[in-house]
Amino acid sequence: MTSPSPRSITGELAEYAASTRFASMPDAVRHEAVRAFTNWLGCALGGSREEAVTIAAATVADLGGAPQARLIGQQQRTDVASAAFVNCIASSVLAFDDAHLATVTHPSGPAGAALFAMSERHPVNGEDFLAAFALAIEIQCRMANVLLLPPARFNIGFYVTGLSGPIGVAAGLANLLRLDARRTGWAMGIGASQSSGFREPHGTMTAHFRPGHATRAGVWGALLAARGFTCSDHALEGEKGFVDVFSSGADLSRAVTGLGQDFELMRNCYKPYPCGIVIHPSIDACLDVATRLPAGVPVASVTLRVHPLTLNLTGERSPRDPLDAAISVFHCAAAALLRGRFGLAEMRQACIDDPAVAALRATIEAMPDPGLRRDEAILEVDLVDGTRLGSHTTVTRGSIERPMTDAELDAKFIEQAEIVLPSDRTARLLRLCRAVAELSDVGREIGAVLSTEMAPSR
Amino acid sequence: MTSPSPRSITGELAEYAASTRFASMPDAVRHEAVRAFTNWLGCALGGSREEAVTIAAATVADLGGAPQARLIGQQQRTDVASAAFVNCIASSVLAFDDAHLATVTHPSGPAGAALFAMSERHPVNGEDFLAAFALAIEIQCRMANVLLLPPARFNIGFYVTGLSGPIGVAAGLANLLRLDARRTGWAMGIGASQSSGFREPHGTMTAHFRPGHATRAGVWGALLAARGFTCSDHALEGEKGFVDVFSSGADLSRAVTGLGQDFELMRNCYKPYPCGIVIHPSIDACLDVATRLPAGVPVASVTLRVHPLTLNLTGERSPRDPLDAAISVFHCAAAALLRGRFGLAEMRQACIDDPAVAALRATIEAMPDPGLRRDEAILEVDLVDGTRLGSHTTVTRGSIERPMTDAELDAKFIEQAEIVLPSDRTARLLRLCRAVAELSDVGREIGAVLSTEMAPSR
């Protein structure tokens, strides 16, 4: 049943999605798409040996699935929907991926996983691939903006990537598959009909199932719509549609204003640290103080002041494993302060179980301060000798104002890829990612490097 | 992250789901489970040749999938998740299935599709099958009660079967697979993490995709949890959990009060007419008046008074095809009044396009009346000769007060099964359904009859 609507954003987004091409993308957006894809593929490799991925891969293997696309970092191949699902869990599981800070959406996981899997089935050159990938991110972030940003009232309990992810993925795939605008709208509507997820499972494997589900939902939307499976032409804005049920008072124009000119992709940040993005300002402050900590003087107390959302989303006091350590501002701050660095090693079980880290974790006080921005944190460390050290993060590393440099992203890629690939293959893969726009067949050329001999499992 | 919760309904439901057995089910519930399964299988056969099913089946075929379970009414086999998905679309697509009237949930589709598919992979006797099937329905309906019934405030734009379906299905499968209580809770939580769907796509193929998604989501929940994929132990009631995001002010005790004694399955109704359940009281009134309509005297005007929800959910004024005719109280009333019967023929394109039906459809006025119950309708028909005929439905056919008899359900089964099976096979299949409790291997024995030669496509 079609409903009258204030603005047919389904139709407007579908028209845009069906017609957008690499040629019309500004240079800065093209470059950012390459960075986002490189970051994504590195994360998918980095997470590929984690237990959540292993279980998901075994479940997929059990159901069969034609060998259309690879599980990244593994020898197994499966159907495109299942490959997207598993690869997105992999890119999410270390909480090292990316974040659209305005909405805390993690858009490149669902986008990258679906489009890369499809590129192995459906040959696509680098320019077309990047256009579809950037589009999938753009529409995810814009729909997240509609749901969350003023004047919308939104229940923060919903998992945003799970809501907007299927829509963006469906749009990106529809572009890649050259669906017409009407079927593109149906693809987005079928995707939106699977939009789901809430925050309660944070800290468990299901936290990473959710983006996996989002990308697969988008694949299903595109595949069904491509065959003429019908949906409402007003799935997003209709009276009982996506925006109506997941938000209230939303400004639908956020979905389409400046489309093609103003890119949310430029407001997407790559994580320098493998944990919840709202923890990052605290880590910066801890790393800063760590450089000034005198050797041998014990810490008496640690006080953090953070934006309230930090404690709301990442207030886990006593993490037991890497999954819930990634949502523990206490663990991350303690590890950063004590070790003076924050990388994958600080999220491993050994660090979580380290008695010195655990002792410091227990002494940290963290106070919500509504006067702070999300990317701000204030740290005070008192030592037993009476010394007080402090740090105030005003511009977080990896933020829009201080983005990860290309060199930093390269290093992050290499650190993760080398978990599963020998270093020469890692280097070749990184060169291919950096030059993805020039590839004639993304799935085949990148797949060829991925499929060669893997390093043994850790 | 675990959250303190007012009542751990995830845990209580999981304990119940893991331990429930056929032996503890009252006789009336056992009999009702047989009726619900029979009704479901008939609907799955009846809808199996519809276009939405054909497209879904082709999409599934394209992705491969090990031949673990059959597509009902077809020769194709695929993996259990995909088979459940397609078979649930089939049982939904004619809008002939069932309804838990208190919540307008359609529970037997997701339950039947998932459990029957799994029974082909995982041998199960009839008693164990029925216990799991009844459980899947029970938990779906109870979770729908939590979301919708007072004191809860719920956005009626959400598609209820899509929200509670994955949870019930996951619980039923967990029981069938003999998962322990903790993994049963995870299965339900992973299912709930895919809970989704809204009403805007009513009248399109996506309306039937939604229950298909719900059943597949439950299959995924159970399969992942069976392998140890973790979730929160408080996915349903946690602070940012399922109930929190989809409802507000909900009474969690509705999920568990009387569990094992008081069965929502007994409040589930089988549809006598293939259209939205809220239309049924109007059809009853039209069929009643039709018996008294004098031949040859044209109708001047028709006025219906119905519960407001009827127009809210099924107010489609100008249906173009069977999918939106099923949500058009105007079409259904016109067809029933003019033809004096209401079955599958009245929902076919020929009836929708019949000029006499279309003319009568256009003259019908329907008024929402908050003073009426959902299962009530008041009809007034004025003829051109001044005659006024009326009917007031107070007890709808197929309702809890006036349930479909076993004989009526048999006739409904036969009408639908014979769309794809020869009559002798239909009769054998019906006997097997009626005796499902005595079968030693449900999937094999019922599958054997389903797999034999099909009638040609219409």
Q: What is the ipTM of this complex?
A: 0.96
Sign of CA dihedral A40, A46, A52, A54: positive
- Do B198 and A239 make contact, defined as CB atoms within 8 angstroms? no
Nearest to A38 by CA among A423, A401, A416: A416
pLDDT at res. B105: 96
| B270 in contact with chain A, both atoms CB, cutoff 8 A | no
pLDDT band at A7 (very low <50, low <70, confident <90, very high): confident
Cα R_g (chain A), whole angstroms: 22
Give me the residues paired with residue B378 across strands.
B305, B392
Which of B10, B54, B161, B196 is the best residue to mutate to test the A interface, defined by the most A CB atoms within 10 Å of its own CB? B196
- Do A324 and B1 make contact, defined as CB atoms within 8 angstroms? yes
Task: Assess whether pLDDT exceeds 90 at residue B455.
Answer: no
Structure tokens at B403: 């349930």
What 8-state DSSP symbol labels residue B382? E
Q: Among the residues of B149-279, which ranges form H helices?
A: 160-176, 181-192, 206-226, 242-246
CA dist., res. B227 & res. B224, Å (int): 5
Taking a C-beta distance cutoff of 8 angstroms, is the pair A64, B79 a contact?
yes
Report the SS3 class of residue B98: strand
Asked if the peptide bond before residue B151 counts as cis, ω within 30 degrees of 0, the response is: yes
Taking a C-beta distance cutoff of 8 angstroms, is the pair A218, A201 a contact?
no
Task: Assess whether pLDDT exceeds 70 at residue A2.
Answer: no
Portion of chain B with pLDDT greater than 70, in percent: 97
What 8-state DSSP symbol labels residue B406? H
Look over chain A and give the mean of its residue pLDDT values, rounded to a whole number. Answer: 95
Q: What is the pLDDT of residues A36-70, one digit of tens each?
A: 999 999 999 999 999 999 999 999 999 999 999 99
- Do A59 and B201 make contact, defined as CB atoms within 8 angstroms? no
Asked if the peptide bond before residue A26 counts as cis, ω within 30 degrees of 0, the response is: no
Taking a C-beta distance cutoff of 8 angstroms, is the pair A41, A429 a contact?
yes
- Amino acid (one-letter) located at B130: L
Question: SS3 breakdown of chain A: % helix, strand, coil, rounded to 5?
Answer: 55, 10, 35
Q: What is the pLDDT of residues B133-185, one digit of tens each?
A: 999 999 999 999 999 999 999 999 999 999 999 999 999 999 999 999 999 99
Report the SS3 class of residue A422: coil
CA dist., res. B182 & res. B200, Å (int): 36
Q: What is the pLDDT of residues A298-323, one digit of tens each?
A: 999 999 999 999 999 999 999 999 99
Q: How many residues does chain A have?
A: 458
Residue-wise DSSP of A412-457: HHHHHHTTTS-HHHHHHHHHHHHTGGG-S-HHHHHHHHHHS-PPPP
- Do A229 and B205 make contact, defined as CB atoms within 8 angstroms? yes
Chain B contacts of A155, Cβ < 8 Å? 244-245
What 8-state DSSP symbol labels residue B377? E
Beta strand residue intervals within A285-403, DSSP E: 299-306, 364-368, 377-383, 388-393
Taking a C-beta distance cutoff of 8 angstroms, is the pair B114, B136 a contact?
yes
Portion of chain A with pLDDT greater than 70, in percent: 97
Q: Which of A303-317, B281-295, B440-454 has the lowest mean pLDDT?
A: B440-454
Residues 6+ apart with CB under 8 A from B434: B34, B38
pLDDT band at B318 (very low <50, low <70, confident <90, very high): very high
pLDDT at res. B101: 87
Tell which wins on pLDDT, A313 or A181. A181
pLDDT at res. B7: 77
CA dist., res. A341 & res. A355, Å (int): 17
How do beta strands B364-368 and B388-393 pair?
Answer: unpaired
pLDDT band at A413 (very low <50, low <70, confident <90, very high): very high
- Do B79 and A64 make contact, defined as CB atoms within 8 angstroms? yes
Q: Which residue has the tokens 């019930």?
A: B168
Q: Which residue has the tokens 């103080």?
A: A289
CA dist., res. A399 & res. A99, Å (int): 9
Structure tokens at A75: 């020898």
Report the SS3 class of residue B303: strand
- How crowded is residue A41: how many other Cβ atoms within 10 Å of its Cβ? 27
Residue-wise DSSP of A260-296: TTS-GGGGEEE-SSSS-GGGHHHHHHHHHHHTTPPTT
Q: How many residues does chain B have?
A: 458
pLDDT band at A458 (very low <50, low <70, confident <90, very high): very low
Å between A319 CA and nearest CA of chain B:
9
Chain B contacts of A65, Cβ < 8 Å? 63-66, 79
What is each CA distance from A421 to A82, A185, A425, B387, in whole angstroms? 23, 39, 6, 85
Taking a C-beta distance cutoff of 8 angstroms, is the pair B170, B218 a contact?
yes
Nearest to B1 among A210, A231, A327 (CB): A327
- Do B240 and A82 make contact, defined as CB atoms within 8 angstroms? no
- Do B206 and A193 make contact, defined as CB atoms within 8 angstroms? yes
Q: What is the pLDDT of residues A92-150, one digit of tens each?
A: 999 999 999 899 999 999 999 999 999 999 999 999 999 999 999 999 999 999 999 99
Chain B contacts of A244, Cβ < 8 Å? 155, 157, 198, 200
Nearest to B451 by CA among B56, B52, B71, B6: B71
Q: What is the pLDDT of residues A25-34, one digit of tens each?
A: 999 999 999 9
Task: Assess whether pLDDT exceeds 60 at residue B228.
Answer: yes
pLDDT at res. B454: 54
| A319 in contact with chain B, both atoms CB, cutoff 8 A | no
Q: What is the pLDDT of residues A388-398, one digit of tens each?
A: 999 999 999 99
Nearest to B201 among A52, A156, A232 (CB): A232
Q: What is the pLDDT of residues A350-387, one digit of tens each?
A: 999 999 999 999 999 999 999 999 889 999 999 999 99
CA dist., res. B226 & res. A276, Å (int): 28
Which of A1, A204, A248 is the best residue to mutate to test the B interface, defined by the most B CB atoms within 10 Å of its own CB? A1
Q: Which helix (H) or strand (E) holds B304?
A: strand B299-306
Portion of chain B with pLDDT greater than 90, in percent: 95
- How crowded is residue A101: how many other Cβ atoms within 10 Å of its Cβ? 20
CA dist., res. B270 & res. B398, Å (int): 6
Taking a C-beta distance cutoff of 8 angstroms, is the pair A39, A270 a contact?
yes
- Amino acid (one-letter) located at A35: R
pLDDT at res. B4: 46
pLDDT at res. A451: 85
pLDDT band at A189 (very low <50, low <70, confident <90, very high): very high
Look over chain B and give the mean of its residue pLDDT values, rounded to a whole number. Answer: 95
pLDDT band at B1 (very low <50, low <70, confident <90, very high): very low
Nearest to A201 by CA among B223, B184, B2: B2
Taking a C-beta distance cutoff of 8 angstroms, is the pair A52, A208 a contact?
yes
Give me the residues paired with residue A105 across strands.
A100
Residues 6+ apart with CB under 8 A from A54: none
pLDDT band at B213 (very low <50, low <70, confident <90, very high): very high
Provide mean pLDDT across the span A76-90. Answer: 98
- How crowded is residue B291: how many other Cβ atoms within 10 Å of its Cβ? 9
Angle CA A96–A102–A106, to nearest 5:
30
How do beta strands A299-306 and A364-368 pair?
Answer: parallel
| B196 in contact with chain A, both atoms CB, cutoff 8 A | yes
Report the SS3 class of residue A158: strand
pLDDT at res. B452: 66
pLDDT band at B6 (very low <50, low <70, confident <90, very high): low
CA dist., res. B371 & res. B303, Å (int): 16
Chain A contacts of B213, Cβ < 8 Å? 193-194
Structure tokens at A454: 């893997």
pLDDT at res. A452: 65
| A320 in contact with chain B, both atoms CB, cutoff 8 A | no
What is each CA distance from B391 to A221, A345, B284, B363, in whole angstroms? 45, 75, 9, 18
Q: What is the pLDDT of residues B14-67, one digit of tens each?
A: 999 999 999 999 999 999 999 999 999 999 999 999 999 999 999 999 999 999
List all residues of chain B from 28 to 57 with a beta carbon under 8 Å from chain A.
Answer: 52, 55-56
